[in-house]
Structure 1
Amino acid sequence: MGIFEWIIIVIIALFFINRLIPTKGITNITVEEAKEKINDKNVQCIDVRTPGEYKVKNRPQFKNIPLHELPSKIDKLDKNKDVVVICQSGMRSLRAAKLLKKQGFKNIYNVKGGMSAWY
């Protein structure tokens, strides 16, 4: 194998490693742990699914801010409060959690399995 092939393999490996390593400040929590957090006044809950998905099934404690709208609405959130983020499966909410982390939020919780695990 040549140097070019090795470089490609390393780049691909780093991509997957980056996806698997948890980001500091983001904690994956179970639905049961989320249920304990959502009624705390110091926690803000965000559902990053589309409005259509949110309308079908939702938890009223979660404010619907679709993932694509989050960057423009992030300034309406309190950086001093914990954030619980949910989506349908946990993938979009993880992306949202990483975005929140980059914007200076400290304690972010991603619900593993998302709404699919809730019901």
Structure 2
Amino acid sequence: MKNQNAINFAHKLSLFSDHWSPKVVAQMNDYQFKLVKVIGEFTWHQHDDTDETFIVLKGQLDIYFRNKVVHLSCGEMYVVEKGVEHKPVAREECHLLIIEPKGVINTGDAGGELTADNDVWI
């Protein structure tokens, strides 16, 4: 049976301190809801098979594209379309809710040292 309790984002975020390492808090069909703390620059990458949704819970996030930058503040969201190269950047620590299909690797096609373990529940 699935968890029947409310999910408190602040509580879940208090349980970890690492950056760029998404933690799954819920799943709906094949989509996972992941909390992540970010700071600094991520790697340029893309997801060829899926869109990726970023929702800012705390702080600010800039999503760089090759031809523009999207600025997100607390309470805002953006959907990066599949196949579009992007690079998230947070000048100060930022807390995000990411929605994407189960099994998506955070660094997409790029790989590298920022690749996080997948399907880590908290």
Give the alignment's TM-score, normalised by structure 2. 0.31
Q: Considering fraction of residues, name the structure with more helix.
A: 1
Q: Considering fraction of residues, name the structure with more strand.
A: 2
